[in-house]
Structure 1
Amino acid sequence: MHRILVVDDEPMIRRGLEKLIQQADTSLIHTDTAENGVDALEKIRSSRPTILFTDIRMPRMDGLELCQRMQELYGDIPIVVVSGYGDFEYAQKCMSYGVKEYLLKPVTKAGVQGAVNKLLAGLATESERAYISLSKLELWLEQIEEAVWHLQDEVIREMIEEMRIYCSSRRIEERQLAQLLNELLAKLVKQIKQRDVYPIVCEELLAEASRDSGFDGFERSVQGLMKLIRAKRKGLLREPVEEAKGYIERNLSKELSLEEVADMLGLNASYFSQLFKQMTGETFVHYRIKRRMELAKKLLAAGNHKITDVSYEVGYADHPHFTKTFKKFTGYTPSEYRATLGIE
């Protein structure tokens, strides 16, 4: 539904214009009226119209001043000026304030409806050009997130240049663009945090981005985010899974939990579990038990360790549980395994 505001100090002219406008398409158009420029601005503040029709000569605030104020406050609302022959000079000034159409009194049905249809068609085209689909924004977010996570500087630069060209072709307004980029950055930071691998404090980065709108500021913020990620990752001497393997190896006699190892690495337990399985092909628990059993085989093969001592050495205070687990992995009990090696 399009709302068209008619501004004129003469009641009969207001009603006449309303009727002509509504005849264009009553299913799509709703009209409202104002007696002068002051009244019009108050109504616009509470409910923005799609199109504004205004007379030139009015008390309190005339059409010329209203057009000037509209350009300053609501430059995207198209204006149609309606005036008599004697007001042509004023009408020319109104045109300098971005007025789209100029109709001479007495107005005709064809003139009014032609102006309405032309402006609505233009708004539809402009709206289409200025619109960015949700799927496009989600694709940008997904691609940038992956590039940030893998610290791909060149991909980031190419992505932002692609976004810049696209937004320019759609004629996205500066204010709209600033809001879009700030929202995109906030979602990017949120999704990086949701990975919850390297705890990152980004509040200062987001605050700085809100003061530095545009693509240059957006790119600096994304680079800043990658810098934070790099700094966190440099805290690990080796890849997380390799670091975890070494920690497990040094603590086979202890009852290590996945949460304990993840905490040692500064990783989220759920993420670490998935990462470990992806990199090793085994679950954390299965890998730890396997390493314990391999150590047990070495100790049993030495021959100078009691089986109960081997059990404690690989982290099993419950000897029967150790025996059961060892047989599950090797097919032999500890005693049978020693026998296959010729050790009594």
Structure 2
Amino acid sequence: MKGKLLLVDDEHLIRRGLSKMIEASHAGWTVIGEAENGVQALSLIEELEPDLVITDIRMPEMDGVELCQRISELGRSVDVMVLTAHKDFEFAQAALRYGAIDFLLKPISAQELAPPLEKAYRLYAERQEQAERSQLERNRLFEHHIQSWLLGLPMDEDTVARLQTTCANRKLLVFTVDSYAPPTKGYRREDARLLQFALLNMMKEWLAISDIAGSIANVKHDVFAVLTDKSDSLTSFELGLVASTQSLLGLTLRPEAYESMRSLYGHFASYEGSSKAELQIPDHAARSKSIQSEVMSFIVQGKTEQLREYLEVHLRQVIEMNVNDAKIEGLSTALAIAAASKRALEGEDAEEKGLGEWIEALQPIRLSSEVAEWLSKQIQAFMWQLNSWLAGKNVNLLDKAIAYMERNYEGACSIHDVAQHVYLSVSYFSNLFKKETGESYTNYLTKFRLEKAKILLSNTNMKISEIAESVGYEDPNYFTTVFRTWVHCSPSEFRKMG
């Protein structure tokens, strides 16, 4: 889950530098646009709907303070950070009064930019999670109303009117499960809740695949109602869901279509397919979505250890549940990390991994500890994939850093210089470099310089002082000391040996 960021500054070089630092910061932001002044920025805000705006204070046509004021008047969930020089501090304070969440002093380095970006991302993620929770609550209420209508339960007039208005010109698809104990599977009665949960997730997946807006109500334990906008994709949704349910879960779905809900009040009150001992399950969509959101937040911020700890908490919770609840919690978590893998790592989704295989693996389990063992394997596979993905990104950064060092070793070429070139903090770059190469940056640079010096000593008549300067040592005596420490002889002795 990456946040969208808009850059506003009248200097192209500043925008370009900020853009590179932001994209390399791992703070969870992606730059979606740039503007030269407030007027352009307002137009792009309408078009691109950014979550964060970073704006300069002094700009032509409309400055940063007025831009902050205009953004506050839009009434949108857009955070603003202000770029300012010391002399513009009073203007920055004015921007804060209009709701800016932070100000950044120019010039700003990658290390200085990272903390406010992370702070802004936390605010954005919290807002997104709250919005998702609110939407899920609205969906649950709407689906409850659909269920009540189809079962003929008492409803007040206002609710009925709102429901009929919402459902006007929409189509109702009803799917009935023939049996949760098909002869081809060894399912038991207590497996029905797990199968219901899997079936609900498959319905949501197929709605997304078919690009159809729809609401799903679990009317009875074996009856599912899908209220959708009329679409050319409904047939492919219906056929795809029925086929995949059969192939993955071994369950047979019987579909029925209705053009309107208006005449269906109480239609399923005494439906023959239902039983007296119905097994209704709680809606785990919110739970799975919450887990996915947390996992995504850790990934985009590069917090792999915190992510591992977070998932281990779920393992401990699973062990403490009864076995049937543990299975649903385990499957919720597995689906969440599969979805996060697909979004962030371009991995496979749950169906490609084999939802049917997951159900078959969980179905015969009798102990919560065994569910935890199964979930632990899913988490380990996910963490391996994540670490491999991060390693690939790190290798690219490392290659870029080493190439810079090889071009600039004749000068100072400090670790600060190289870290800044790849837009990482010195501490992060230092740890990354040692992890990937097995040695510190200083040692790596020293060995590289000395290898260059050896070539010059063996193939040229340059003076020792000239060679020292050409490989980055201003003091020839210090160069000789370093050479003797690493090569175990002086530069002059090495030349004679060659």
Alignment TM-score, normalising by the size of structure 1:
0.44
Higher relative contact order (Cα pairs below 8 Å, separated by 6+ residues): 2
